[in-house]
């Protein structure tokens, strides 16, 4: 446990750790092979408060702030990566966008249910032609009396097959670029909304992903998040916090891989001694531990700044870049240290290696994080 954390967060860290080890880790294989997360697992995570941990109590959250959220998410990473995906997509992104943009009527209508997983949310930003260049999305919204008619499609939408509520970003005026983008909350039963089949992925089995199609989908004006044209800023402010959570998850995933690698390095004997006695293995362990320590400090620092109300765009990008690139290296060395066994489905290391690959892509690729960081540096110059 981390003695530098305030006492309530140390307690949170301990209780989430035991919950994950006792209730989630034993379900890991079932989730991987069935490619679904059983409802009782979602309910158990909701019972632990994991869907609302970083949100204010006024909106139905647990009130632990972003630092508390990151502390919990790091522990959650000890089980399947897909478990956090449900939370990250539902409240980390969908719920956060509603909370950031408002108005209060939408916060009151949706957040209490999202933060307790009574309803699951999804975040509809990416499109077939607008991934990294999210500002050029093509889904359109046009005003029609007291509603908007939305047409278009979204791609790679985490949770879409199981979601009850979607935040959807659409443009009112493509000529206005990102300033034409407006955000909406859309309920699954809305006529004109079609959810595609679950996509098959390299990893993150259990986490569902699908396309969304909108055919003259009528969304009441009261379902608009923020004002017309504010959608892109709401999307990026949401992603600042999403990237921080992802970084915390990467730290937890890397930590667990390091622990398994240390254990294996002590137990596996080759050339008459444990492989951990060979310098080649020691260097891999030392590099992993050093990177994890630095990444964790970055996560805690960025989260604390967010809790103090600072804008963390650049810091969150640095933290996501550093932590997710680190996880890629730690996952690779964990497979290397485990040798042939690391490549076998029999051991969870193989799953963790596949799961680790997406961190450098979703919620903004490593290349986009560098773009964000550099933009901040040059703007200050
Ligand atoms: N917060 C608030 N406002 C912001 C902002 C932020 N973090 N970043 C930029 N803005 C503002 C700018 O100040 C600017 O406003 P003004 O015009 O008023 O000055 C406006 O937004 C446009 O900014 P840019 O000109 O910098 O925008 P851009 O079009 O060049 O794009 C980008 C910037 C950083 C590349 C952005 O498009 C981006 O982050 N792309 C990656 C998208 C992404 O992460 N997608 C992930 C999808 S979600 C996902 O992955 C979920 C999942 O699966 C679970």
Atom of ligand 1 nearest to the CA of 88: 54
- What residues contact residue 265 under an 8 Å CB cut-off, 6+ apart? 274, 275, 276, 281, 285, 337
Give the CATH class of 233-377: mainly alpha
Residue 1: pLDDT over 80: no
Q: Look at residue 3 in the predicted model and tell me its pLDDT.
A: 74
Residue 57: pLDDT over 80: yes
Identify which of 123, 128, 134, 357 to mutate to test ligand 1's pocket (most ligand atoms within 8 A of the CB).
134
Residue 381: pLDDT over 70: no
Residue-wise pLDDT for 177-210, tens only, equals: 999 999 999 999 999 999 999 999 999 999 999 9
Cα-to-centroid distance, 81 and ligand 1 (Å): 25
Cα-to-centroid distance, 359 and ligand 1 (Å): 18
Q: Does domain 7-115 have CATH number 1.10.540.10?
A: yes
239 lines ligand 1 (CB under 6 A): yes
**pTM of the shown model:** 0.97
Averaged pLDDT, 253-274: 98
Q: How far apart are alpha carbons 155 and 346 in whole angstroms?
A: 32
245 lines ligand 1 (CB under 6 A): no
Identify which of 127, 178, 210, 237 to mutate to test ligand 1's pocket (most ligand atoms within 8 A of the CB).
178
Domains of the chain, residue spans:
7-115, 121-228, 233-377
Atom of ligand 1 nearest to the CA of 134: 37
Task: Select which of 74, 127, 350, 363 is catalytic.
Answer: 363
Residue 311: pLDDT over 70: yes
304 lines ligand 1 (CB under 6 A): no
Cα-to-centroid distance, 4 and ligand 1 (Å): 33
Q: Three-state SS string across 253-318, please?
A: HHHHHHHHHHHHHHHCEECCEEHHHCHHHHHHHHHHHHHHHHHHHHHHHHHHHHHCCCCCHHHHHH
Averaged pLDDT, 352-375: 98
214 lines ligand 1 (CB under 6 A): no
Averaged pLDDT, 114-121: 98
Cα-to-centroid distance, 330 and ligand 1 (Å): 29
Q: Look at residue 2 in the predicted model and tell me its pLDDT.
A: 75
Residue 301: pLDDT over 70: yes
Residue 380: pLDDT over 80: no
Atom of ligand 1 nearest to the CA of 136: 29
Has 105 been annotated as catalytic? no
Q: How far apart are alpha carbons 22 and 127 in whole angstroms?
A: 39
Averaged pLDDT, 243-250: 98
- The two tokens of residue 58 are 């006024």
Residue-wise pLDDT for 213-228, tens only, equals: 999 999 999 999 999 9
Q: What percent of the chain has pLDDT over 70?
A: 99
359 lines ligand 1 (CB under 6 A): no
Q: Does domain 121-228 have CATH number 2.40.110.10?
A: yes
Residue 103: pLDDT over 70: yes
Residue-wise pLDDT for 16-54, tens only, equals: 999 999 999 999 999 999 999 999 999 999 999 999 999
Q: How far apart are alpha carbons 287 and 46 in whole angstroms?
A: 36
Residue 355: pLDDT over 70: yes
Cα-to-centroid distance, 360 and ligand 1 (Å): 17
Q: Which residue shows structure tokens 């539902």?
A: 90
Q: Which long-range contacts (CB under 8 A, 24 or more apart) does 305-313 make?
A: 306/65, 306/66, 306/240, 306/241, 306/244, 307/65, 307/66, 307/67, 311/240, 312/240, 312/241, 312/244, 313/236, 313/240, 313/372, 313/376
């Amino acid at each position: 446990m981390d003695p530098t954390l305030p006492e309530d967060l140390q307690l949170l860290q301990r209780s989430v750790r035991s919950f994950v080890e006792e209730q989630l880790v034993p379900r890991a294989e079932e989730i991987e092979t069935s490619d679904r997360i059983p409802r009782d697992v979602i309910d158990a995570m909701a019972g632990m408060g994991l869907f609302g941990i970083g949100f204010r109590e006024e909106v139905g959250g647990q009130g632990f702030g972003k630092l508390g959220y990151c502390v919990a998410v790091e522990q959650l990473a000890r089980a399947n990566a897909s478990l956090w995906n449900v939370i990250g997509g539902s409240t980390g992104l969908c719920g956060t966008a509603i909370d950031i943009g408002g108005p209060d009527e939408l916060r009151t209508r949706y957040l209490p249910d999202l933060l307790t997983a009574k309803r699951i949310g999804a975040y509809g930003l990416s499109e077939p032609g607008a991934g990294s260049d999210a500002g050029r999305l093509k889904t359109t919204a046009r005003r029609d009396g007291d509603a908007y008619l939305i047409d278009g499609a979204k791609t790679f939408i985490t949770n879409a097959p199981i979601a009850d509520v979607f935040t959807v970003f659409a443009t009112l005026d493509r000529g206005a670029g990102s300033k034409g983008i407006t955000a909406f909350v859309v309920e699954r039963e809305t006529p004109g909304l079609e959810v595609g089949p679950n996509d098959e992925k390299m990893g993150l089995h259990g986490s569902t992903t699908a396309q969304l199609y909108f055919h003259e989908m009528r969304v009441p004006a009261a379902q608009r998040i923020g004002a017309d044209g504010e959608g892109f800023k709401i999307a990026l402010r949401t992603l600042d916090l999403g990237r921080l959570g992802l970084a915390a998850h990467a730290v937890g995933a890397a930590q667990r891989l390091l622990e398994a690698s240390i254990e294996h390095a002590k137990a596996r004997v080759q050339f008459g001694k444990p492989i951990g006695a060979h310098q080649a293995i020691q260097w891999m362990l030392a590099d992993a531990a050093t990177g994890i320590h630095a990444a964790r400090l970055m996560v805690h620092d960025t989260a604390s700044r967010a809790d103090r109300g600072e804008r963390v765009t650049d810091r969150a990008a640095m933290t996501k870049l550093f932590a997710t690139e680190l996880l890629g290296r730690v996952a690779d060395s964990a497979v290397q240290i485990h040798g042939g066994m690391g490549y076998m489905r029999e051991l969870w290391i193989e799953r963790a290696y596949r799961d680790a690959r997406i961190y450098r892509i979703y919620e903004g690729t490593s290349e986009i994080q560098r773009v964000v960081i550099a933009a901040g540096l040059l703007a200050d110059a």
